[in-house]
Amino acid sequence: MRILVTGGTGRLGRAVVPALAGEDVQIMSRRGHVVADLSTGEGVAAAVAGVDVVVHLATGNTGRRDVAAACRLVTAARRAGVAHLVYVSIVGVDRVPNSYYRGKLAVERLLAESGLPHTILRTTQFHDLVRAYLAAVSRLPVVPVPDLRVQPIDVRDVATHLAPLVTGPPRGRVEDLGGPEVLSFETLARTYGGKGVVRYRLPGRTFRAYRDGGHLTGTPGGEITFAQYVDERR
């Protein structure tokens, strides 16, 4: 099976590519590997030619850019006769009114309307994202954290779950995947650094949706806890 991975050098891609060992896996990037640029469309048609499955992990800084990139990729994949496109989205894109989330939801709808056989997996936030935030604020005398619960997941757990979806038949949208624990940001901050923590609450519909759990799965998943992840990096 010939598989093309967009975003294969990114945080999730670096875990997904090894999980697909045994398959003919190629990585699309702007430099090296299979050279193509989703932001302009240059090289995309050549990159997907002869490919059985496309795993779309590449993501930009804004939802609008993600949608434009996905349009170029889906158009090229349809013309090339790609048999399956796998897309990783975010839990709650239809419940949290966030511009980045709206872009992810628009890509899901694009796939549904394209006629291209596909699989969509929504996951919760990665451990790496939580750690990046805590690393930034931990330089302060007191650590400010949002008054929210999160369900972080390790990218290795996502990769393990994703691999059989990639090599299997298209399934449309599959069950959401979350981390093994739902924890407050305060608990995560104390696990990360143990410094003094102060909670803050922001107004608006987006943070209300987060407080209501719109970004949670409701069921545990994955195996690697945030505490285990942090311990590995100490």
- Convert the pLDDT of each residue in 176-198 to its tens digit: 999 999 999 999 999 998 778 99
CATH number at residue 59: 3.40.50.720
What is the amino acid identity at position 139? R
What would the mean pLDDT of 194-217 be, rounded to a whole number? 93
At residue 31, the pLDDT reads: 73
Query: Which token pair is 62?
Result: 């804004």
What is the amino acid identity at position 222? G
Determine if the pTM surpasses 0.85: yes
Instruction: Answer for the pair 145, 199: CB distance below 8 angstroms, yes or no.
Output: yes
At residue 195, the pLDDT reads: 78
Query: Which token pair is 199?
Result: 């909670």
Give the Cα separation of 34 and 27 in Å (integer): 6
Query: Which token pair is 93?
Result: 């894109």
Number of domains in the chain: 1
Instruction: Answer for the pair 159, 12: CB distance below 8 angstroms, yes or no.
Output: yes
What is the amino acid identity at position 67? V
The residue segments making up the domain with residue 65 are 2-232
What percentage of the chain carries pLDDT values higher than 70?
100
Instruction: Answer for the pair 172, 118: CB distance below 8 angstroms, yes or no.
Output: yes
- Convert the pLDDT of each residue in 10-68 to its tens digit: 999 999 999 999 999 999 987 768 889 999 999 999 999 999 999 999 998 788 899 99
What would the mean pLDDT of 107-113 be, rounded to a whole number? 97
Query: Which token pair is 71?
Result: 């349009």
